[in-house]
Amino acid sequence: MGKLGVSVYPERSTYDKDAAYLDLAHKYGFKRVFTSLLEINGDQATVLGNFKKVITHANELGMEVMVDMNPSLFKQLGISYNDLKFFHDLGAWGVRLDEGFTGQEEALMTRNEYGLKIEVNMSSGTSYIDNIMSYSPKRENLMGSHNFYPHRYSGLDYDFFVGCTNKYRKYNLNTAAFINSHAATFGPWPTQDGLPTLEEHRDLEIATQVKHYVMADLIDDLLIGNAYASEAELAAVAEAFNADYPSLKVDVADEITDQEKTVLFDNLQSYRGDRSAYLLRSTQTRVKYSQWPFPAHHCVDMVRGDVLIDNVGYGQYKGETEIALLPMKNDGRVNVVGKISADEQFLLTYLKPWSHFKLIPSK
């Protein structure tokens, strides 16, 4: 089971606000903390003291703090890749290398005497990880995480993301990516239009972002990149991440009956295995509710994402729940009772035959 995480930026906030946020995240089961030491402005001792105070509080909550670094800061602080005492003394769980070294240094860092995790940047698209692996790292201390992208339209394309991620998965390394809060107002830099890994996530509800990652089954840990997510968002993330089954939001048709609402929302739906290009079929509702009448109504032509229940005109199929995958003509035997919400229709691609899922009303 992967972990959830949040991000804090002590240079851009206060200890009290960061500590309160970590307390709230801990309440909802968040385990990881991301923070950034990409540059130090002002008095070095003061900056590092503020970081240590926040990290200490996270550690007291049993959370795991990953500190983002780049090679230039190693030089500024006089840190060597073969002596990571600085990070141990800071209280960090691990060090994330925003920019890497040559591969050999990363491998040596994984064998540090403190057991610190070394997390490398997964978003380059190069053979970087193959190079690191060629130097025999201590695999249990090596992890990968994608970047986040504050500039609108600069986030990763999904297919590129998959290619990058699979380079790490082939070595069974822990993977992480960032999701985007809409309540949050800041990140490590002054300008930010949110902090997602995937560009297509930038304006999606945070729970929808989580569902996508869970259903794609490529990433272990999910971290909220910007601060501070609202309590409602933290709760939504935890619910979506820990759900036994994925859920899809349905915009309910005005014409839907109470019985049809029961069919959709009070049942675990099952994607029939002998799949059709036109329909995702969940057949058990026709068995369970075989005695219900399901009269014909709202029998309009169908488009992708429409939620359907076969009516009395379909004989033994009466009561079957379906989701349209392609446009279809309606001959009067199918009730169109809703539509998968526009922002979640792309998730239909990730539902697999023989899998189970839930439908939930969007409002």
What digits encode the pLDDT tens for the residues 275-304? 999 999 999 999 999 999 999 999 999 999
User: How far are the Cα atoms of 47, 60, 90, 239 from residue 56, in angstroms, in the given order?
Assistant: 14, 6, 8, 27
- pLDDT tens, the chain, 363 aa long: 799 999 999 989 999 999 999 999 999 999 999 999 877 777 888 889 999 999 999 999 999 999 999 878 888 888 888 899 999 999 999 999 988 889 999 999 999 999 999 999 999 999 999 999 999 999 999 999 999 999 999 999 999 999 999 999 999 999 999 999 999 999 998 888 999 999 999 999 999 999 999 999 999 999 999 999 999 999 999 999 999 999 999 999 999 999 999 999 999 999 999 999 999 999 999 999 999 999 999 999 999 999 999 999 999 999 999 999 999 999 999 999 999 999 999 999 999 999 999 999 997
pLDDT of residue 75: 84
pLDDT of residue 47: 86
pLDDT of residue 40: 79
Say whether 258 sits in a helix, a strand or coil.
Answer: helix
Say whether 262 sits in a helix, a strand or coil.
Answer: helix
pLDDT of residue 78: 86
Domain boundaries, the chain: 4-243, 248-361
Q: Provide φ and ψ at 309, rounded to 5°.
A: -135, 125
Sheet holding 306-310, edge to edge: 269-270, 356-361, 247-252, 334-340, 306-310, 321-324, 279-282
Q: What average pLDDT does the chain have?
A: 96
Give dist(CA 151, CA 327) in Å, integer. 36
Q: Cβ atoms within 10 A of the Cβ of 134, count?
A: 12
Residue range 59-89, pLDDT digits in tens: 999 999 999 998 788 888 888 888 999 999 9
Strands (E), 237-318: 247-252, 269-270, 279-282, 306-310
User: To the nearest whole percent, how much of the chain has pLDDT over 90?
Assistant: 90
**CATH superfamily of domain region 248-361:** Cyclophilin-like (2.40.100.10)
pLDDT of residue 80: 87
Those residues whose C-beta lies under 8 Å from the C-beta of residue 110, and which sit 6 or more positions away, are 118, 137, 138, 139, 141, 142
| Tokens, residue 234 | 């933290």
CATH, domain range 4-243: 3.20.20.70
